[in-house]
Every structure is written in C-alpha cells, then in structure tokens.
Amino acid sequence: MISIQHISKSFAVPATRGRRSRGKGADFSYAAAVSGNPAAVAASVVQATDEAASTIASVLPDGTVSALSDINLEIADGDIFGIIGMSGAGKSTLVRTINLLERPTSGRIVVDGQDVTELSGADLRAYRRRVAMIFQNFGLLAQKTVLENVCFPFVAANGKVTAENRERALGLLARVGLAEKASSYPSQLSGGQKQRVAIARALACEPEVILCDEATSALDPKSTNTILKLLRDINRETGVTLVVITHSMDVVQKICKNVAVLEHGRVVEQGPVERVFDAPSAEATRVLLGRVDWDA
C-alpha cells in the first residue's frame, strides 16, 4: 500500500544561467527558457502560465514554481494504478517522488506504514530496491550487454553478481522473450526490446512496486501492446503493484484498474477506470478522452 499524503513540490526558478535542472520533473516551461537570464526566465514562466491553454504549473508568491500541490492518493497492493495528465501536469514529478528521485517539498509518502520521505543513505537505497522503475528512454547502460544490464540491480545491491543472480537474470530475459539477446548490446535492439530489457532489470530484485514513467510513449503501437501485455501479465503472476504514468487514455484503458487525473499539479479526478471513463467529471479528463470538439 502506497499512501501519498499532501505531497507538494515546488522548484526554485534556476538562478544560474544555462544550468539544466535535474530530471524530467522540472522539464516544463522554464526548461525551454533556461538559456536566458533569471529575470527573463521568471517572466517567461509567468507568461506561459497566463496562457489559457497551458498546462504548466503555477508560480508561487515566493518565486518558486509549483509542480505538485497537495496530492493525496492511495495505491493498493497489486493494483495497476494509472496517473494521467497532459505534458507538464506533474505526472513524472509525482511518480519520481515515490522513489525519492525527487524530494517532495512537503507531505509524506507512506509505504506499508513506513514514512519513506524520511529515508536517506543505505535505508533509502534499500527502499529503492523494493520500488523498481522503468523509463520512457529505457535508461539502459549502452556499454553493457543486455545480461549485464539486467544484473545491474545485483551490482547496485551487493557490488557483485553471483551465479545465482545470473541464472535469475537469464530466467527474466526468457520471461520477457529475449533469452537469445543476452549477449547483445542495447544499441542492437529495437525500442520495444530495450523496454523489455528494462522490465527484466526492474524485476531482478523482486520489487513490490514498479513505477512506469511513460514506459510506452516512445514506442510504436505494436511494441506498446507487447509491453502493456507483459506488464499486465507480470502484475497477475507476481502481484507486483504497477504505477503507470501516461498521457495516453489508451494505455489506461488497456491495463489500469484505477486512475488519477492530474492537471496543473493537482488531482482533478480519481477512481476506478470504468467510472472515470463512463462519467468523467473534470474537463481535463474529457480533453484526455478526446471528448471535446477539437475544431472549436
């Protein structure tokens, strides 16, 4: 059970010129404007938020940019929980607070009764092993073979790979249908295959949760279906909780049981997927569902 309690996150508008803020969470609006001077950056953020069509998070009175405000979600064990929203709505930032790649400014993440937002050092690393993650751009090590990539979590945990670890990794590669690619390098694989390697890597340490950050956004429809089916089957086989970040309603419809809709860093709607699809209450949901007159 992951309980997200009153999570807020704001970013300081970068004071140093040309510094790229770490991580995708900070990727909205001002990332495009960081090349300018700080005043111009702030101005452009304000300007961007003024636009009605913009999905960009708001500028707070103290000059920081709010990416998430007061998010509350409960994600049950074994659930496939979708978090959907437009680009810049704060989805990636939210999911990255769950494994603390992004530290929330306020609020708590409580996993199985333990407040993980307090963790640091070895405890934090141990927690991260329970919460695997897959990424839009796969995040594979280009200079390591497929097998070495899948074994990386063992290296991360123990500094070495045992024969047993290797067996498990080979088993996982077989599970994702890439047994014969063990000694290939990521550059020799297609996008869908790379994501399957990333899934095998995510499974290496038998995680309780897998965070999927736009896992299929860079893939064609066929590979998307393969990946979604694989994720769903793994959820059924192992009972692992999946948190699925996406801007595609199609993805939510195919695999999610519950969904939260994020807009401007706030949850505007949440519930079981059928309910949200049948009777969307928020405008953002209707837009995401395509149930608006796009010619208007």
Partner 1 sequence: MLNDFLAEFSGLLAQGTLDTLVMLFASTAIAYVIGIVLGVVLHLTAPDGLRPMPALNAVLGWIVNIGRSLPFIILLIALMPATQAIVGTSTGVRGVIPPLVVATAPFVARMVEQSLAEVSRDAVEAAEACGASVPRIVWSALLPEALPSIVRGIAVTLIAVLGYTAIAGAVGAGGLGDIAIRYGYYRYENEVMIVTVVLLVVLVQLIQSVCNYIARRVDHR
Query: Contact residues for partner 1 (CB under 8 A)?
Result: 16, 19-23, 99, 101, 122, 124-129, 131-133, 135, 137-144, 152-153, 155-157, 159, 185, 187, 198, 201, 205, 211
Nearer to partner 1, 141 or 174 (CB): 141
Q: With beta carbons less than 8 A apart as the criterion, state whether 257 and 277 touch.
A: no
Nearer to partner 1, 205 or 261 (CB): 205
Nearer to partner 1, 113 or 187 (CB): 187
Q: How far is the CB of 43 from partner 1 (least distance, A)?
A: 22
The β-bridge relationship of strands 209-213 and 131-135 is: parallel
Q: How far apart are CA 169 and CA 179, in angstroms?
A: 10
Evaluated on CA atoms 229, 130, 241, 259, the torsion sign reads negative
Q: How far is the CB of 276 from partner 1 (least distance, A)?
A: 28
Q: How far is the CB of 153 from partner 1 (least distance, A)?
A: 5
Nearer to partner 1, 132 or 284 (CB): 132
Nearer to partner 1, 3 or 21 (CB): 21
Nearer to partner 1, 45 or 189 (CB): 189
Q: How far is the CB of 288 from partner 1 (least distance, A)?
A: 26
Q: How far is the CB of 196 from partner 1 (least distance, A)?
A: 15
Evaluated on CA atoms 230, 236, 241, 244, the torsion sign reads positive
Q: How far is the CB of 160 from partner 1 (least distance, A)?
A: 10
Nearer to partner 1, 99 or 193 (CB): 99
Residue 142: how many other CB atoms lie within 10 Å? 9
Q: Which residues have a Cβ under 8 Å from the Cβ of 254 and sit 6 or more positions away?
A: 225, 228, 232
Q: How far is the CB of 273 from partner 1 (least distance, A)?
A: 26
